[in-house]
Every structure is written in structure tokens, then in C-alpha cells.
Structure 1
Amino acid sequence: MAAGSGPGARELFAEGLLQFLRPAVRQLDRHVHSVRESQVELREHIDSLATELCRINEDQKVALDLDPYVKKLLNARRRVVLVNNILQNAQERLRRLNHSVAKETVRRRAMLEAGGYQGK
């Protein structure tokens, strides 16, 4: 085996890789959470606007056909809900990945420490 390519070097590389990935996964999780909050807020605004358009349509003495606009808003709301579901699934996968990275980091650190103590 070549120098520097033994189990210790691989463990150090894996530990470094895990340390590198953890902040990126956490940052991505925060961004997904922020987007999901924005999606919920957008959905609430769409609901409010659709309700207001229906109310205006009912109150108007002049016949304005706002139904197509209400339907467009409801279609947009449906798409927002779909995107939110996709984001929720992605965030759950990110949480599981973050948990796995943390668990693997603890396991590898314990292995490195055990290996270090055995060599003394």
C-alpha cells in the first residue's frame, strides 16, 4: 500500500468531507425552509385576493366577469401548493441527510480516537 493511502488517511479524508458537507446541507435546509415560508405566505395572499375578487364581483352592479381571473388565481394557488409539497419533501430528505452526516461524523470520530488510543 502506498504511503498516505492507509485506513487512517481514508478516515481523515472522510472526516474532512463530512465536515465540508455539513454546513452546505444546513444552509440548504435553511433556504428551503425560507422558501417554504414564502410559499405559504404567497398562498395566503392568493386566497385573500381570490376572496376579494369574488366579493367585488358579487357587489358590482355592472356585470364584470371576474370568474376567469379567480380561476387563474386558484390555478396559481394549486401550483404553489404543489411546489410547497415538493419543497417539503426535499427539506425532509435534507434533514435525513444532515442527520446521517452527523451520525457518520460521530462514528468516524470515535473510530479515529479509538485508533489513536490503541497506537499509544
Structure 2
Amino acid sequence: MDDVWKTIGELARSFRERDDERKVPTEQQWTLQVLKIGEEFGEAAQAVIGVHGTNPRKGTSHTWEEVQAEVADTAITALVALARMRPDAAEFFARVLADKSSRFLAPAQPSLDEAEAVELL
């Protein structure tokens, strides 16, 4: 996961530098990056519609692999947005993930060592 965050950080830095050159204020940079998440989600939604062929003008126009690629684009864009807003993005994301997942996943049971397991028998 460190390689992922390294790449995300490089993308965030590159986009920030481009926006800084254009003199885009920081909060506007963040706003535009968050809006980009919506754009990417829209492309994923369009691909799902294309898989099911529910657009009468286009018919079946996409595959599930294309949907998956659009979902990945959405995730990447969201992580870049977080990295642009927070220098501690990886740690912040890990904390939020732990908090959110604890609501849906049962807590891990401590494992018994061999001696404790024998005592239980």
C-alpha cells in the first residue's frame, strides 16, 4: 500500500503544481478535485448503464471490465483529492477506514496459543 500512496502523492503534487502555476487558490483546487470525483463516478455510472444496454440510443456499449476501470478511476481521483487536502492522507485514510469498517466487521478474536487451547480441552 505504500507504493499506492507514493504514487497518489506524486499525482497530487503534480496537479497542485499545475494549479499553482495557473494561480488557482488552494481551496478552489480542492473543490475542483472533489468535483472531479463526481465526474469520474458519472463515467462509472454511464458504463453500468452501457453494460445493461438501458440507453436506447447506445444499446450495450460497455463491459464489466470497463466499469471496473471507471470505478478504479473514481477511487484514484478520490485518493488524490484526499492527498491534496491532507499531508497525512495515508494515515487519515487508515483511521477513517478502521472506524468505518469496525461498524460492519466483527472484531478479531484474540488467538489462543497452543497451551491455552490445550487447557480448554
Name the TM-score class by shorter chain: 0.3 to 0.5
Q: Highest CA radius of gyration, 1 or 2? A: 1
Task: Please report the TM-score for the alignment, with normalisation by the length of structure 2.
Answer: 0.40
Q: TM-score, normalised by structure 1?
A: 0.40
Query: Looking at both structures, which has the greater relative contact order when contacts are Cα pairs under 8 Å and sequence separation is at least 6?
Result: 1
